[in-house]
């Protein structure tokens, strides 16, 4: 039982439990429950004095001022924020330690400082360290006002005094603490209270507050998830440590769409914007190798072409291995089962390795067809055509199902010089816009109705009788 005056709080999700446990019942994380003292602030029943004034209730329609957004000038960042930062809003930038959050925000701060006052409060690095980084990024000349501080009281006092800045960066919220609270910095109580105070001031004075939050698997530091409901915008900065590209993703945005991504490349001179991510992901592709297929994907609202690689090798004794990087292993198991059961391929005796090149993580079910193509190509030793892209979801009976944003995928494939697209059958149906003939210059469309049609292409055998396929007669060499 909790001792009097203390409670048990999960540092990952903020759930409160009556007693300590190894695993949080609410979010399922392990070793995240920490005992925290409860401040004795039990509210008494509201007396007549505490009653407020009646508020005016209004209709939904009314004249509202358009939000004036502040563009940082870093195009990829502005895109993810919905076209710029909204004054008075709070933005949380979450991500694994070492992924590049401080680098990104220093670049954003420097870009914003060209137009107005920007304060950068570093709780993790000393002033000299931040200066060295700025020097390396070539930003030392930017008029950013820098401070190394962790006491929220001091930060608030600084921001209260003088004219309000345009934007304030707090790096990171986990290092901030409020003196009157007993808990250690980084605990849910401290993180929440610190953020609350900073956000309140930001709303009052009309500056943008950008909070950095670390996410750790161990949950040693409070995950920024407890902050997600307090801020207006939540951005996640993702990427594989060993790879140079990074994706900034909006997961919540009260002022814009959440399906936007920004792509950056981490270089020795900081983060560079990548305007054409597909070219980056396909840069090291070697044509005419078996076991590879290009997936025409869509991340957020951006088309993204990426190579899926598969390797099948005879398994040694015991259960065969299934190793997946960048995709869902459950989905791989499903595609393998469908290939076995519906197409008669013998895969059970093979180790299967699947890799999404470049370190990208794909979550779209539309990648099924590209994965299947890579697997069949590896099994048969027949390379897929270097000029072909694949997309389509696979159902359990082996049917290839339609996916969204076909035109966007085809356009991107055409832009990168792909001549052919293997994709689901397009049916202009009820409630769906009938798509016209493919735009001139776009890739030739080859409709795959069933997974067997795909397998037949690699085997060089005739297509399944009765299968639908518009361009089959034309055929494509190389598949």
Tokens of 353: 């390795």
Q: Quick one: what does residue 97 bind among Mg ion, ligand TYD, none, with the CB cut-off 5 to 8 Å set by partner type? A: ligand TYD
239 binds ligand TYD (CB under 6 A): no
Residues β-bridged to residue 93 = 212, 235
Tokens of 349: 């005796």
Of the candidate spans 15-23, 27-35, 101-109, 463-471, the one that interacts with Mg ion by CB under 5 A turns out to be 101-109
Per-residue binding string, ligand TYD, 25-64, x by CB under 6 A, is ----------------------------------------
Q: Site for ligand TYD (CB under 6 A): how many residues?
A: 15
Q: Which of 462, 468, 469, 466 is nearest to 444 (CA)?
A: 469
Q: Quick one: what does residue 103 bind among ligand TYD, Mg ion, none, with the CB cut-off 5 to 8 Å set by partner type? A: ligand TYD
Per-residue binding string, ligand TYD, 320-349, x by CB under 6 A, is ------------------------------
Q: What span, in angstroms and rounded, lies between the C-alpha atoms of 364 and 427? A: 21
Toward Mg ion, which CB reaches closer, 35 or 125?
Answer: 125
Would you say 129 and 171 are in contact if contact means Cβ atoms under 8 Å apart?
no
Tokens of 61: 């329609």
Tokens of 279: 């070219």
Q: Rounded to the nearest whole angstrom, what is the least distance from the CB of residue 104 to ligand TYD in the complex?
A: 7
Q: Rounded to the nearest whole angstrom, what is the least distance from the CB of residue 207 to ligand TYD in the complex?
A: 22
Instruction: Report which DSSP code applies to 82.
Output: T
107's CB contacts (< 8 A; 6+ apart) are: 74, 137, 139, 270, 271
Toward Mg ion, which CB reaches closer, 102 or 107?
Answer: 102
Q: Residues 121 to 150: which contact ligand TYD by CB under 6 A?
A: 133, 136-137
32 binds Mg ion (CB under 5 A): no
DSSP letter string over 174-223?
GG-B-TT--SPTTSHHHHHHHHHHHHHHHHHHT-EEEEEEE--TT-SSPP
Toward Mg ion, which CB reaches closer, 102 or 233?
Answer: 102
Q: What span, in angstroms and rounded, lies between the C-alpha atoms of 322 and 396? A: 20
DSSP letter string over 122-179?
ESSS-HHHHHHHHHHHT-TTS-EEEEE--BHHHHHHHHHSSSPPSEEEEE-GGG-B-T
For residue 390, give the 3-state DSSP assignment: strand
Toward ligand TYD, which CB reaches closer, 91 or 324?
Answer: 91
Toward ligand TYD, which CB reaches closer, 8 or 236?
Answer: 236
Q: Rounded to the nearest whole angstrom, what is the least distance from the CB of residue 239 to ligand TYD in the complex?
A: 10
Q: Is 298 left (phi over 0), alpha (psi -120 to 50) or beta?
A: beta
Interface residue with Mg ion, options 32, 102, 107, 377 (CB under 5 A): 102
Would you say 127 and 148 are in contact if contact means Cβ atoms under 8 Å apart?
yes
Toward Mg ion, which CB reaches closer, 171 or 299?
Answer: 171
Interface residue with ligand TYD, options 50, 52, 229, 268 (CB under 6 A): 268
Q: Quick one: what does residue 406 bind among ligand TYD, Mg ion, none, with the CB cut-off 5 to 8 Å set by partner type? A: none
Tokens of 367: 């990648």
Toward ligand TYD, which CB reaches closer, 167 or 454?
Answer: 167
Toward ligand TYD, which CB reaches closer, 104 or 451?
Answer: 104
Q: Rounded to the nearest whole angstrom, what is the least distance from the CB of residue 98 to Mg ion in the complex?
A: 8
Q: Quick one: what does residue 268 bind among ligand TYD, Mg ion, none, with the CB cut-off 5 to 8 Å set by partner type? A: ligand TYD
285 binds ligand TYD (CB under 6 A): no
Q: Which of 251, 239, 311, 250 is nearest to 277 (CA)?
A: 239
Toward ligand TYD, which CB reaches closer, 22 or 98?
Answer: 98
Strands 245-253 and 233-238: antiparallel
Interface residue with ligand TYD, options 256, 270, 383, 398 (CB under 6 A): 270
Q: Rounded to the nearest whole angstrom, what is the least distance from the CB of residue 148 to ligand TYD in the complex?
A: 14
272 binds ligand TYD (CB under 6 A): no
Per-residue binding string, ligand TYD, 91-110, x by CB under 6 A, is ----x-xxxxxxx-------
Q: Quick one: what does residue 317 bind among ligand TYD, Mg ion, none, with the CB cut-off 5 to 8 Å set by partner type? A: none
Q: Rounded to the nearest whole angstrom, what is the least distance from the CB of residue 101 to Mg ion in the complex?
A: 5
Q: What span, in angstroms and rounded, lies between the C-alpha atoms of 411 and 471? A: 18
Q: Rounded to the nearest whole angstrom, what is the least distance from the CB of residue 95 to ligand TYD in the complex?
A: 6
Would you say 375 and 335 are in contact if contact means Cβ atoms under 8 Å apart?
yes
Chain center to CA of 274: 16
Toward Mg ion, which CB reaches closer, 98 or 349?
Answer: 98
Q: Rounded to the nearest whole angstrom, what is the least distance from the CB of residue 266 to ligand TYD in the complex?
A: 5
DSSP letter string over 323-355?
EEESS-HHHHHHHHHHHHHHH----TTEEEEEE
213 binds ligand TYD (CB under 6 A): no
The CA–CA distances, whole Å, from 45 to 5, 40, 55, 301, 420 equal: 21, 15, 21, 50, 71
Would you say 25 and 16 are in contact if contact means Cβ atoms under 8 Å apart?
no
Tokens of 379: 């099994």
Toward Mg ion, which CB reaches closer, 175 or 350?
Answer: 175
- Contacts to Mg ion by CB under 5 A: 102
- Contacts to ligand TYD by CB under 6 A: 95, 97-103, 133, 136-137, 266, 268-270
């Amino acid at each position: 039982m909790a001792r009097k005056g203390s409670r048990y709080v999960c540092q990952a999700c903020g759930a409160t439990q009556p007693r300590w446990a190894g695993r949080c019942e609410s979010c399922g994380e392990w070793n995240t429950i920490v005992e925290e003292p409860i401040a004795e602030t039990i509210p008494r029943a509201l007396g007549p004095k505490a009653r407020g004034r009646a508020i005016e209730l209004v209709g939904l329609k009314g004249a509202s001022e358009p939000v004036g957004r502040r563009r940082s000038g870093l195009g990829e960042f502005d895109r993810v924020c919905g076209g710029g930062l909204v004054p008075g809003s709070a933005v949380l930038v979450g991500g694994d330690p070492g992924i590049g959050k401080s680098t990104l925000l220093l670049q954003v701060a420097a870009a914003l400082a060209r137009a107005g006052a920007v304060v950068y409060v570093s709780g993790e690095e000393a002033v000299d360290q931040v200066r060295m980084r700025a020097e390396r990024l070539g930003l030392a000349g930017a008029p950013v006002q820098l401070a190394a501080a962790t006491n929220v009281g001091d930060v608030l006092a600084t921001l209260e005094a003088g004219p309000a800045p345009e934007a304030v960066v707090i790096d990171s919220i986990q290092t901030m603490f409020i003196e009157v609270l007993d808990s250690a910095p980084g605990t849910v109580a401290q993180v929440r209270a610190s953020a609350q105070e900073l956000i309140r001031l930001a709303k009052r004075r009309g500056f943008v507050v950008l909070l950095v939050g670390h996410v750790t698997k161990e949950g040693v530091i409070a995950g920024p998830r407890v902050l997600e409901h307090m801020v207006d915008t939540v951005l996640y900065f993702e990427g594989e440590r060993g790879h140079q590209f990074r994706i900034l993703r909006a997961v919540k945005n009260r002022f814009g769409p959440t399906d936007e991504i920004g792509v950056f490349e981490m270089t020795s001179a900081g983060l560079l914007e990548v305007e054409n991510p597909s070219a980056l992901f396909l840069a090291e592709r070697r044509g005419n190798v078996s076991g590879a297929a290009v997936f025409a994907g869509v991340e957020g609202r951006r088309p993204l072409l990426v190579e899926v690689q598969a390797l099948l090798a005879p398994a040694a004794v015991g259960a065969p291995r299934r190793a997946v990087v960048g995709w869902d292993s459950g989905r791989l198991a499903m595609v393998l089962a469908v290939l076995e059961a519906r197409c008669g391929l013998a895969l059970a005796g093979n180790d299967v390795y699947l890799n999404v090149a470049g370190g990208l993580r794909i979550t779209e079910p539309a990648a099924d067809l590209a994965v299947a193509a890579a697997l069949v190509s590896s099994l048969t030793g027949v390379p897929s055509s270097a000029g072909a892209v694949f997309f389509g979801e696979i159902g359990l009976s082996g049917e290839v199902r339609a996916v969204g944003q076909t035109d966007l995928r085809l356009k991107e494939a055409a832009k990168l010089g792909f001549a052919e697209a293997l994709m689901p059958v397009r049916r202009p149906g009820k409630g769906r816009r009938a798509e016209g003939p493919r735009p001139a210059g776009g890739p030739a469309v080859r409709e795959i109705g069933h997974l067997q049609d795909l397998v037949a292409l690699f085997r060089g055998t005739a297509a399944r009788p009765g299968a639908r396929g518009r361009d089959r007669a034309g055929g494509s060499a190389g598949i």
